[in-house]
Amino acid sequence: MDWGHVRGDVEDRLRKICVALPDVHEGPAWRGRSWLVRRNHFCQVFTVDDGEAQKGIIIFRSEPPELDALVQSGHPFFKPAWGTRVIGMVIDDNLDWDEVAELIIDSYCIQAPKKLAALVHRGTA
């Protein structure tokens, strides 16, 4: 088991979304891969073993009221036990890549300096 890494096609799609944003770099995370703007993580992807199967997880940032709406919507979203503005998303066969891109862009804008966030056109990856 390559603990922490998701399928290559998933990681490649996430990478394409993330590196299209200003001043982003990729690096290892405590588990899996992470994308950062300056020194701030805005997207992380890794796998977990829930005892039945390995599941891919995407972690990103969100703020109320969207954060609350995502948590209340349930699967594929969940609230990790750490971080106040952190939300998790289970990677499954029904993954909506347009939604993923929108959430990652929002996460980037939360973590990026205002000058960089202002360069981003929301709604496009």
pLDDT at residue 6, rounded to an integer: 65
Mean pLDDT (the chain) is: 88
In the structure, what pLDDT confidence band is assigned to residue 48 with cuts at 50, 70 and 90?
A: confident
Decide if 107 is inside a domain: yes
**Predicted structure pTM score:** 0.88
With CA atoms as reference, report the closest residue to 104 among 65, 59, 48, 46.
59
The CATH code of the domain that includes 41 is 3.90.1150.30
Hey, which residues does 49 pair with through a beta bridge? 54
Let me know if 69 is exposed, middle or buried by CB neighbors in 10 A (0-12, 13-18, 19+).
exposed
Interatomic CA distance for residues 102 and 124, integer angstroms: 7
Interatomic CA distance for residues 15 and 67, integer angstroms: 23
Decide if 3 is inside a domain: no
Residue ranges making up the domain that contains 28: 8-117
Decide if 98 is inside a domain: yes
- Number of domains the chain contains: 1
pLDDT at residue 5, rounded to an integer: 57
pLDDT at residue 2, rounded to an integer: 44
| Cis before 65 (ω within 30) | yes
